[in-house]
Amino acid sequence: MKKTLLFFYFLFFLQFVVAQDTITQKRPKIGLVLSGGGAKGFAHIGVLKVLEQAGVKIDYIGGTSMGAVVGGLYASGYNATQIDSIFQETNFDELLQDYMPRTSKSFFEKRNDEMYSVSLPFNKFKLGIPVALSKGIYNYNMLAKLTHNVRHVRDFNQLPIPFICVATNIETGEEVILRDGFLAQAMMASSAFPSLFSPVELNGKVLIDGGVTNNYPVKELRRMGAEIIIGVDVQDDLKDRNSLQDATRILVQITNLDMINKMKENIKLTDIYIKPDISNYGVISFDKGQEIIKKGEEATFAVYEQIKKYGNQKNYEVQNLKNESSLININDITTTKLDNYTKAYILGKLRFKSGKTITYDELKTGINNINATQNFSRISYVLEKNSNNKDDLKIYLTENPNKTFLKFGLHYDDLYKSAVLVNLTHKKLLFKNDVFSGDAILGDNIRYNIDYYVDNGFYWSFGFKSRLNTFNRNVETDFSNGELLTQLGLKSINIDFLDITNQAYMQTVFIQKYLIGGGIEHKYLKIKSETLEEDNPVFENSVYFSIFGYLKYDSLDNKYFPKDGWLFSGDIQSYLYSTDFNNDFERFSVVRGEVFFAKKLAKKLTLNINSELGFSAGGKATPFFNFILGGYGFSTINNFKHFYGYDFLSIAADSYIKSSFTIDYELFKKNHINFSANYANVEDNLFGTGNWFSKPKHNGYALGYGYESVFGPIEIKYTWSPELAKGYTMVNVGFWF
């Protein structure tokens, strides 16, 4: 009897298993098509949320442009909620602008890039314009990090969900179906919208946004084996003339002309067609992401009855990609063979070498450093798994064919007055890794800057610079050891200032953060006054030779309105010889130091704290190298220093110590109001007498407004000091140079 019951139980169990298997086999393979549409592709996330709620398991995904990005992330293991969180945390302004942190630039690049309002390629005496607004490095770094878990998968059929995406071969106009490769690179190629993002070079083809040729890859999913197609269409319908009011909408309209006709056939191939009502949004409406996601949910709920019959809410488990270690154990680093740059140059920009374990943030920083040079028109990379279960980093670089650039800038301040800057920059002038930069500054005071620099990465780099500075100004500084103004009974004196400085130097990056270097300097200095024509009008007319050394660190996020970061600068300069116009030269040294700190206190409120000091050592310092404080908004040279409350070049001595703070409030984007205070002790032999620690003898305050314009900062400040009877209004416009 027991054997009989056991036999029937076995038959029942077998029948149940077979039945379940039959049910499983009968479940049709579901394919999901996600069209392109820029920011309107946020609707795909809303669709995915409802599909998960209905228990619909997706077997294949095909996407184009934004659909490729959302689809690629879903195919790699993220669920809809996770993708929603990723997009909420993404700064799309930075993505579209290909934001490059200031910290990614070398000290040379910071100095050069923070002077010019306009930069244009200049080739064979012809001006050019950039290929696109963005090279897409910001986006590439982000997608590479997000797809870390599948970085070694090269066949997209082996992803958690089989995946394809579509790009367009810009040379032939043909569509390209991407089924394999580095997932982040494929998503980038599919979403390289013309004029916004540079084309992507992949397998010898130059690819742009797939929406140009196939914005809805439904046929490809059928070929993969999909039996039921759920299609999400976020494309624009054709607009009338009144709606085509900007370049982006016109480009989208051109792209959509052919697609609209193709969609009639594609809809017939789609079993469940979802068309969210997003006509009020554009391809760059990234600030409306949550609204668009909601529209995607609403459109999917409208066809929920059709969807749920393909779902299994009881047994469906939403995929959930767990955070795993994103450390990368670098075994080897290879780069494209370059004509004008050495591997040492590239490694120096990366700031890590083979055999190191790094984070994705370190990788991102290294790639940003390469991008910051502007020496490469295309940058991409892949991580290949090697036999040691480590990663080989392969970097693909295309050298920028434009080696010559014309750059322009404008500036006004109360010292140098109005100025127009014209710059010629040329790469690969004499050696690999080199750059030449020449500035001609025209206006009330003629000036020039010439820089030649060879960047050898991890190895010692070297350069030469030459600078001419001239200005005419009434100043309260006594250039005659404190005697002349007193003897003549004058409060100020008009001077003509001329400084020609030439430097040769060597420098390198120390422990991947600090710039350390040194060199020799030749300086010609002439100071005269027309106020004293009947007497000897020339105060100085000498040549000086010196040696110098320096250590610098700069992580500020913005030179003019910093919100975060540190700056440290320390240097020593020893003057060894002079032609000695005044017959009073003694060898002496000048030591300078500065620390600057910026910290965000609230969303729009920032605190800046700055401390500086300087002193002379050795023999008696030449008065013309004293520290001279006063004024604001001009490009500092020699030992001229800003100081609120006093007019330009008002306080002078061979030693000083100064502290200041600024509270800055960003009233609305790029518009700032701020309050500043500074305090200083300035006197000869300040640190020898111990007076540097006494109550400050000089203090000043400033209330100002600043605007971050394309020409640089536009600032107006009212400054005053309790020690003086009057205040000063100071205006500066444009980048400082």
Written as one string, the DSSP assignment of 472-483 is EEEE---SSTT-
Confidence tier at 10 by pLDDT (50, 70, 90): very low
Greater pLDDT, 388 or 128: 388
- Confidence category of residue 480, pLDDT binned at 50, 70, 90: low
Is the pLDDT score of 1 beyond 80? no
Active site residue 190: no
What are the tokens at 551? 């250590």
Q: State pLDDT tens for residues 122-154.
A: 876 666 666 667 889 999 999 999 999 999 999
Lowest mean pLDDT among 323-337, 441-455, 575-589: 323-337
User: How many Cβ atoms are within 10 Å of 174's Cβ, its own excluded?
Assistant: 12
In this prediction, residue 483 has a pLDDT band, given cuts at 50, 70 and 90, of: low
Domains of the chain by start residue, with CATH: 30-98+136-309 (3.40.1090.10), 327-399 (3.10.20.310), 404-734 (2.40.160.50)
CA distances from 655 to 265, 625, 644 (A): 81, 10, 18
SS3 204: coil
Residue 86, pLDDT > 80, answer: yes
Query: Is the per-residue pLDDT at 486 higher than 70?
Result: no
Kindly tell me the sign of the dihedral angle through the C-alpha atoms of 573, 574, 579, 580: positive
Indicate if the pLDDT at residue 557 is higher than 60. Answer: yes
Per the structure block, which two tokens stand in for 36? 């392109």
Residues whose CB falls within 8 Å of the CB of residue 210, separated by 6 or more in sequence, listed in order: 36, 64, 65, 68, 165, 166, 167, 168, 175, 176, 189, 190, 217
Q: Which two tokens stand for residue 402?
A: 């434009």
Q: Quick one: pLDDT at residue 531?
A: 72
- Distance between CA 233 and CA 219 in Å, rounded? 15
Give the chain's end-to-end CA distance (angstroms, integer): 102
Cα(423)–Cα(406) distance, integer angstroms: 6
Contact 674, 604 (CB under 8 A): no
Looking at residue 331, its pLDDT comes to 95
Any residues with CB less than 8 A from the CB of 9 and at least 6 apart, and which? Answer: none
> Cα–Cα distance between 549 and 386 in angstroms, integer?
44
Question: Per residue in 586-606, pLDDT tens?
Answer: 999 999 999 999 999 999 999
How confident is the model at residue 8, as a pLDDT?
45
User: Cα(432)–Cα(473) distance, rounded to whole angstroms?
Assistant: 43
> Which of 209, 413, 499, 664 is an active site residue?
209
- The SS3 call for residue 158 is helix
Residue 524: its H or E element: strand 514-528
- Mean pLDDT over the full length of the chain: 90
d(CA 677, CA 181): 57
Q: What is the pLDDT of residue 596?
A: 98
Structure tokens at 703: 């209330």
Instruction: Check residue 489 and give its pLDDT.
Output: 56
CA distance 376 to 394: 16
> Which of 35, 59, 65, 98 is labelled catalytic?
65
Instruction: Please check the confidence at residue 17 and state whether its pLDDT lies above 70.
Output: no
- Assign residue 163 a region (left: φ > 0; alpha: ψ between -120 and 50; beta: otherwise): beta
Distance CA 41, CA 64 (A): 10
Residues in the chain, overall count: 737
Rg (CA), the chain: 33
Q: Are 331 and 355 in contact (CB under 8 A)?
A: yes
β-bridge mates for residue 506, sequence order: 462, 518
Q: Cα dist. 466→180, 418, 557, 576, 683 in Å? A: 53, 22, 28, 20, 31
Q: Rounded to two decimals, what is the model's pTM?
A: 0.84
Beta-strand (E) ranges in 109-223?
118-123, 126-127, 163-169, 175-178, 200-202, 205-209
Percent of the chain with pLDDT over 70: 90
The Cα diameter of the chain in Å comes to: 136
Q: Using 50, 70 and 90 to split pLDDT, how confident is the model at 157?
A: very high
pLDDT top residue among 589 and 261: 589
User: How far lies 48's CA from each of 32, 658, 693, in Å?
Assistant: 10, 59, 66
Residue 65 annotated to the active site: yes
For residue 85, how far is the Cα from the chain centroid?
23
293 against 486, higher pLDDT:
293
Single out the residue of 36, 35, 34, 38 nearest to residue 248, CA to CA.
Answer: 38
Interatomic CA distance for residues 73 and 41, integer angstroms: 13
Percent of the chain with pLDDT over 90: 71
- Checking if the pLDDT of 232 tops 60, the result is yes
Alpha-carbon separation of residue 188 from 16, 133, 199, 421 (angstroms): 47, 15, 9, 38
Residue range 390-413, pLDDT digits in tens: 999 999 999 998 999 999 999 999
- Rounded to the nearest 10 degrees, the angle between the axes of helix 183-190 and helix 66-75 is 160
Whole-number pLDDT of residue 128:
63
Assign 3-state DSSP to the chain and report helix, strand, coil percentages, each to 5.
25, 40, 35
- Please say if the pLDDT value at position 18 is more than 50: no
Question: Which carries the bigger pLDDT value, residue 11 or residue 546?
Answer: 546
Mean predicted confidence (pLDDT) in 471-479: 76
Planar angle of CA 519, 470, 616, nearest 5 degrees: 45
Distance separating alpha carbons of residues 645 and 719, to the nearest angstrom: 5
The amino acid sitting at 718 is: Y
